[in-house]
C-alpha cells in the first residue's frame, strides 16, 4: 500500500472507532507525538532551504519579481475565497432555523497595529527568531543571508553547502516521520469524533456544510483553474500530489505544522523548484489563508442571521476587507481563525458572542480551512514556478 492510502485507511478507522468508542480520545498523544516530530523540523528546514533558495535565485530583481507575484496571487485568491464563502452562505442560509439559546459574553482581541506588524517582520536576533519559530522573521533573515552568501562568492560556498545539506536532512526526516502519519491520523480522528459527537454537530450542520462546500468549490474552481491555466497541470495530478499534506493538515489543523510535508510534496510530486517552494510555501503558511477567509465570511453571515441582523452593502464590504486582513494575521496553528473572527465581527458591528455558538465545533471547521490554506500555498508555488523557470519534471 502507498503511504497516502495507509493514511486514508487510518483516517477512516479513526473516525469510525471514535464514533463507536468515545473513550478512544485517550489515543490523542499518538497524534501529538507526530505533530511534535514534524514541528521539530520546521525552523531548520525553512531557514536552510530558503537560504539556498535565495542564493540560487541570485539576483535581487528576480527575487523582487517572485515576491511580487506571490503576494498578488495570495491577495487575489483570498479575496475570491471570501466572495465564494459569502455567496454560498447566501444560498445555503446557514442560520435559518437555528434556535438561539443563551450565549455567554465574548471579548474580542484588538487588531494589531499595522506598523508594528511590519517592523516585527525584521528580527533583532536571528537565533531568537529560529527558537521561537517566528516564520516571517525566519524568512526575512534567510533571504538576507542567502543574498549575502551569494555576494561574497567563493567564500559563501561552504555555508551554502552546509544549508543545502541541512535542508536535505530535514526533508529526509520528514519522510521518516510521515511513516507515523497513518497512526496519527487514526488517533486524531478518533479524538475529534469522540469530543464532538452528533448532538453538538447537528444544530450547526448547515454552517458546517456551507463552509465545507465553499472550501471545496474554491479548490475545485480556483486552484484547479490556476494550476491548469498557468502550469498546464492536470488538477487531479495536483490534488493527488498534495494528498499527504492535505491529510496532515486535515488532522493536525495547523498550516505551520504541515509545512515540512507540504514543501516536500510540492517539490517531489509536483516538481516545484526548491527556491520557489521554500519561499512561497512558508510565507503562504503564515499569511495566505483562503480557507480561513472563507470560514470568516460564512461565519459572519451565519452569526448575523442567527441574531436577526440584516447586512447592508457597507457591512459586506467590511466583512470582505477585515476577513482578508484577519486571515493574513491568523497564525497557522489550531483555532487561530476563530480568535481572529472576533475582529471581523467587531468591524461589521455584529455581536461577538456569536463566536461562542461556533467555538464548540471549531475543530471541525478548522480541519477543512487548514487543508485549503496549505493547498492554496501549494497552488501558488506551482503558479509562481510555472511563470518563472518552469516546473522540474
Residue at shortest CB range from ligand ASP: 337
- Residue 288 CB, shortest distance to ligand ASP, in Å, is 9
Of residues 150 and 373, the one with the C-beta less far from ligand ASP: 373
Kindly tell me which residue out of 337, 342, 351, 376 binds ligand ASP, with binding defined by CB under 6 A. 337
C-beta of 32 vs 168, nearer to ligand ASP: 32
C-beta of 291 vs 351, nearer to ligand ASP: 291
Residue 267 touches ligand ASP, criterion: CB under 6 A: no
Min dist CB 49 to ligand ASP, Å, is: 20
Task: Assess 77 for contact with ligand ASP (CB under 6 A).
Answer: no
> 3-state SS string over 320-388?
HHHHHHHHHHCCCCCCHHHHHHHHHHHHCCCCCCHHHHHHCCHHHHHHHHHHHHHHHHHHHHHHHHHHC
CB of 333 to ligand ASP, least distance (A): 6
Q: Which of 37, 186, 289, 391 binds ligand ASP (CB under 6 A)?
A: 289
Q: Which is nearer to ligand ASP, 130 or 293 (CB)?
A: 293
Residue 218, interface with ligand ASP (CB under 6 A)? no
Size of the site for ligand ASP (CB under 6 A): 16
Q: Between the CA of residue 253 and those of 39, 87, 91, 197, what are the distances in Å?
A: 13, 25, 27, 18
Q: Is 292 in the site for ligand ASP (CB under 6 A)?
A: yes
- Options 49, 255, 274, 322; binder of ligand ASP; rule CB under 6 A: 255
Among 167, 170, 242, 330, binds ligand ASP (CB under 6 A): 330
Among 147, 160, 253, 283, binds ligand ASP (CB under 6 A): 253
Q: Show the cell assigned to 5.
A: 492510502
Q: What is the DSSP letter of 90?
A: H
Cβ density class 240-253: b for 16+ within 10 Å, e for less: ebbbbbbbbbbbbb
CB of 149 to ligand ASP, least distance (A): 31
**Position 358 contacts ligand ASP (CB under 6 A):** no
CA distance 352 to 15: 32
Q: Under the criterion CB under 6 A, does residue 333 sit at the interface with ligand ASP? A: yes
Q: Closest approach of Cβ 292 to ligand ASP, in Å?
A: 4
d(CA 22, CA 80): 39
In the list 28, 335, 363, 388, the residue contacting ligand ASP (rule: CB under 6 A) is: 335
Q: How far is the CB of 133 from ligand ASP (least distance, A)?
A: 13
User: At how many degrees (to 10) do helices 255-270 and 243-252 cross?
Assistant: 170
- x/- map, 24-63, ligand ASP, by CB under 6 A: ----------------------------------------
Q: Among 369, 375, 385, 386, which residue sits at the site for ligand ASP (rule: CB under 6 A)?
A: 369
- List Cα–Cα distances, 126 to 118, 349, 357, in angstroms: 16, 40, 41
Residue span binding ligand ASP (CB under 6 A) among the ranges 17-25, 40-48, 318-326, 364-372: 364-372
Binding test (CB under 6 A) with ligand ASP, winner from 77, 141, 251, 254: 254
In angstroms, the Cα distances linking 305 to 94, 101, 299, 350, 364 are: 8, 14, 10, 10, 21
For cell 475545485, the residue is 220
Angstrom distances, CA of residue 134 to CA of 46, 122, 244: 11, 10, 25
| CA–CA dist 91, 219 (Å, integer) | 19
Phi, psi of 364 (to 5 degrees): -70, -35
CA distances from 217 to 88, 94, 100, 210, 265 (A): 10, 17, 29, 10, 22
Chain residues binding ligand ASP by CB under 6 A are 253-255, 289, 292, 330, 332-337, 366, 369-370, 373
Amino acid at each position: 500500500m502507498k503511504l497516502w492510502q495507509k493514511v486514508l485507511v487510518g483516517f477512516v478507522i479513526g473516525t469510525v472507532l471514535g464514533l463507536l468508542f468515545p473513550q478512544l480520545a485517550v489515543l490523542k498523544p499518538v497524534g501529538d507525538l507526530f505533530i511534535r516530530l514534524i514541528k521539530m523540523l520546521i525552523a531548520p528546514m525553512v531557514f536552510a532551504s530558503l537560504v539556498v533558495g535565495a542564493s540560487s535565485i541570485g539576483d535581487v530583481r528576480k527575487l523582487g519579481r517572485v515576491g511580487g507575484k506571490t503576494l498578488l496571487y495570495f491577495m487575489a485568491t483570498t479575496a475570491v475565497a471570501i466572495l465564494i464563502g459569502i455567496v454560498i452562505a447566501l444560498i445555503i442560509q446557514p442560520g435559518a432555523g437555528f434556535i438561539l439559546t443563551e450565549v455567554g459574553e465574548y471579548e474580542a482581541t484588538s487588531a494589531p497595529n499595522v506598523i508594528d506588524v511590519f517592523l516585527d517582520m525584521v528580527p533583532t536576533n536571528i537565533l531568537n527568531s529560529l527558537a521561537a519559530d517566528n516564520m516571517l522573521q525566519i524568512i526575512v533573515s534567510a533571504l538576507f543571508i542567502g543574498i549575502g552568501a551569494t555576494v561574497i562568492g567563493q567564500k559563501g560556498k561552504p555555508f551554502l553547502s552546509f544549508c543545502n545539506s541541512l535542508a536535505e536532512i530535514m526533508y529526509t526526516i520528514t519522510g521518516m516521520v510521515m511513516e507515523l502519519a497513518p497512526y496519527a491520523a487514526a488517533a486524531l480522528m478518533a479524538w475529534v469524533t469522540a469530543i464532538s459527537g452528533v448532538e453538538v454537530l447537528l444544530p450547526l450542520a448547515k454552517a458546517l456544510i456551507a463552509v465545507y462546500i465553499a472550501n471545496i468549490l474554491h479548490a475545485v474552481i480556483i486552484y484547479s483553474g490556476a494550476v491548469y491555466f498557468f502550469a498546464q497541470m492536470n488538477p487531479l495530478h495536483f490534488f493527488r500530489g498534495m494528498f499527504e499534506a492535505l491529510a496532515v493538515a486535515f488532522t493536525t489543523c495547523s498550516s505551520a505544522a504541515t509545512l515540512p510535508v507540504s514543501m516536500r510534496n510540492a517539490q517531489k510530486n509536483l516538481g516545484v523548484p526548491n527556491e520557489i517552494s521554500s519561499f512561497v510555501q512558508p510565507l503562504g503558511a503564515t499569511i495566505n489563508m483562503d480557507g480561513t477567509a472563507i470560514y470568516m465570511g460564512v461565519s459572519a453571515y451565519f452569526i448575523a442571521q442567527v441574531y436577526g441582523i440584516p447586512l447592508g452593502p457597507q457591512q459586506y464590504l467590511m466583512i470582505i476587507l477585515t476577513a482578508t486582513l484577519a486571515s493574513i494575521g491568523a497564525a497557522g496553528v489550531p483555532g487561530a481563525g476563530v480568535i481572529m473572527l472576533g475582529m471581523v465581527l467587531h468591524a461589521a458591528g455584529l455581536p461577538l458572542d456569536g463566536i461562542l455558538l461556533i467555538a464548540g465545533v471549531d475543530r471541525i471547521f478548522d480541519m477543512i480551512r487548514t487543508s485549503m490554506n496549505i493547498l492554496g500555498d501549494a497552488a501558488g508555488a506551482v503558479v509562481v514556478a510555472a511563470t518563472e523557470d518552469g516546473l522540474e519534471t
